[in-house]
Amino acid sequence: MSESYEAASGDDGWDVPEEAFAGAPVAGGGQADAAGAAGRASEPVVEQALSVLDGLDELAPAEHVARYEHVHEALRAHLSGDA
């Protein structure tokens, strides 16, 4: 017998509000802040990297890969201290 989870309209499947993570320890040290928990970048480098995704829905899916790879590389470099 198999069961399936059907999310209610507007339900993202999470039982915990994002705000619950504010103040929680994060990898690499520090703590999550309310802005980060709500999905808003709190560092200019991160905001700049993510801005590459603006207008993504207007591009052909084949062009998405290059954008995501650019963001991934920028975030990787920032987290490793190479930026």
Average pLDDT over residues 41-58: 86
Instruction: Check residue 74 and give its pLDDT.
Output: 92
Q: Which residues in 36-62 are b (16+ Cβ under 10 Å) and which e?
A: bbeeeeeeeebeebeeeeeeeeeeeee
- Contact in structure between 22 and 40 (CB atoms under 8 Å): no
Question: What is the value of pTM for the model shown?
Answer: 0.48
- Contact in structure between 48 and 83 (CB atoms under 8 Å): no
**Domain residue spans of the chain:** 13-40, 43-83
- Contact in structure between 79 and 28 (CB atoms under 8 Å): yes
Inform me whether the pLDDT recorded for 37 exceeds 70: no
Show Cβ contacts of residue 59 under 8 Å, excluding neighbours closer than 6 positions.
67
